[in-house]
Amino acid sequence: MKPEGADSVLVVGAGVIGLACALRIAREGRRVILVDRDEPGRGTSFGNAGHIATEQVFPLASPEVVRGSLRYLLDRESPLRIRPAYALAILPWLARFAWASRPAGFARGTEAIKSLQRTAAADLVELLGMAGAPGLIHLDGNLMLVERAESVAVAKAEIARVAEHGVRAEWLPAADVKSIAPELAAPIEGAWRFAGTGHVDDPYAVSRALAEALRAAGGEIVQAEIVAIEGDGAAFAARGSDGRTLHASNVLLSCGAFSKPLAAQLGYRVPLDTERGYHVTLPGAFPSFRVPISSFERKVIMTPMTAGLRMTGTVELGGLRLPPDPYRFAMLERHLKALVPSMPAQGMTTWMGYRPSLPDHLPVMGRAPDGRNVFFAFGHQHLGLTLSGVTARIIAAEVARRDPGIDLRPFSPARF
């Protein structure tokens, strides 16, 4: 088995994480082959909220979520929903989730996420500069609405918790919020305005820019589904479903929620599942507000984009095979109409994608613990876009055997 060049890197997965890593590696002079069964950016990365969520430092695996698990199971309106048809299949994952949610595990997870969030925004700005698309990102903050008076104290306590971890937010009274977003019709008490966060104009435009920059840097993009990877640690062969075989001296696995089978072939069994995410987009809606706006009570977020106004929300545990639940789309549409009823809804589009998620809510990242030229970058749950820049910087350093400047032990596949 011969690699095609001593510095060749095969990147499996062309979502925003794979694209970002491939570009940074290629710009360091290595031959990069990026392969995916879809066109770059057409999978889960296509439909995210576009929010640069650096304020999110707590893992979903938390004592609060575990305490409310029965309510989540029974309430169809819950922002965290388990599909009944998938309940048995997800039980082992949920057991690990509950274990990771213990106070000590939650504290470790928080510190691990903070270590990535510390430079996430700056790394993403740098990445989009490399891609020749610095104008796609806006770090103007975001608003979190509080709609009911009885929620103010709870929201204030949550803001105080994240403030202890360096997240900055200021309270805006209702009048100030309405001046920023006059389209808001729902009664509100006010909103928290976060600093240092932001959004992109269009997540798919980000992926396209990264793909074009990768080609310009000499990278090759192949559309094929990889079904098998084998190698001796310094030379790898990846076989596609079309019978084609790709060779490289390094392999990076970054195919999101579909990474589990290939990770096992590379020697690591990971309890990967998916948080299915939904969105609705109003292609003719261009509100005056220019920052993402979320609702504390509704657990949804709407982002102004060049493609229109997009609302995303809810986490559904339902695996990779069940069809979308139409009720989730209807729920998002209902929230959108309640918040901004004046926005034109003609031509509304819907979408569902698969956020890759591990039970402790941390990604798998870095070189394989056994020292082979095998690298991992998957499992970023709903922070893929936010953490794409910092992940790319870390993986490029790992491939080059440089110090990544961060403790990668919390993200090792061996932790399971």
Whether residue 308 contacts residue 284, with contact meaning beta carbons closer than 8 Å, is answered with yes
Token pair of 180 as six digits: 């920023």
* Closest alpha carbon to 229 in 261, 204, 257: 261
Asked if residue 2 is part of any domain, the answer here is no
Tell me the C-alpha distance between 71 and 60, whole Å: 16
**Residue 74: half-sphere exposure toward Cβ, Cα within 13 Å:** 4
pTM of the model as a whole: 0.96
The letter for the amino acid at 25 is I
Residue ranges in 131-236 assigned as alpha helix (H): 152-163, 174-180, 203-216
Residue ranges in 82-202 assigned as alpha helix (H): 91-100, 103-130, 152-163, 174-180
Please write the tens of the pLDDT for every residue from 186-197: 899 999 999 999
Q: What is each CA distance from 234 to 99, 119, 228, 372, 375, in whole angstroms? A: 36, 31, 16, 7, 12
Q: What pLDDT score does 2 carry?
A: 43
Query: Is residue 178 predicted with pLDDT exceeding 70?
Result: yes
Pairing between strand 308-317 and 80-82?
parallel
* Closest alpha carbon to 255 in 283, 274, 281, 276: 274
Asked if residue 4 is part of any domain, the answer here is no
Asked if residue 210 is part of any domain, the answer here is yes
Burial of 241 (0-12, 13-18, 19+ CB in 10 A): exposed
Q: Give the CA radius of gyration of the chain.
A: 21
* Closest alpha carbon to 210 in 354, 55, 11: 11
Q: Indicate the pLDDT class of residue 1, thresholds 50, 70 and 90.
A: very low
Find the angle CA(122)-CA(203)-CA(143) to the nearest 5 degrees. Answer: 65
Please write the tens of the pLDDT for every residue from 382-400: 999 999 999 999 999 999 9
Asked if residue 172 is part of any domain, the answer here is yes
Asked if residue 102 is part of any domain, the answer here is yes
Tell me the C-alpha distance between 24 and 41, whole Å: 17
- What CATH number does residue 315 fall under? 3.50.50.60
Asked if residue 3 is part of any domain, the answer here is no
Asked if residue 107 is part of any domain, the answer here is yes
Average pLDDT rounded to a whole number, residues 229-257: 94
Domain containing 41 equals: 9-415
Asked if residue 1 is part of any domain, the answer here is no
Please write the tens of the pLDDT for every residue from 24-64: 999 999 999 999 999 999 999 999 999 999 999 999 999 88
Q: Indicate the pLDDT class of residue 159, thresholds 50, 70 and 90.
A: very high
The number of domains in the chain is 1
Whether residue 382 contacts residue 58, with contact meaning beta carbons closer than 8 Å, is answered with no
* Closest alpha carbon to 38 in 19, 22, 10, 23: 19
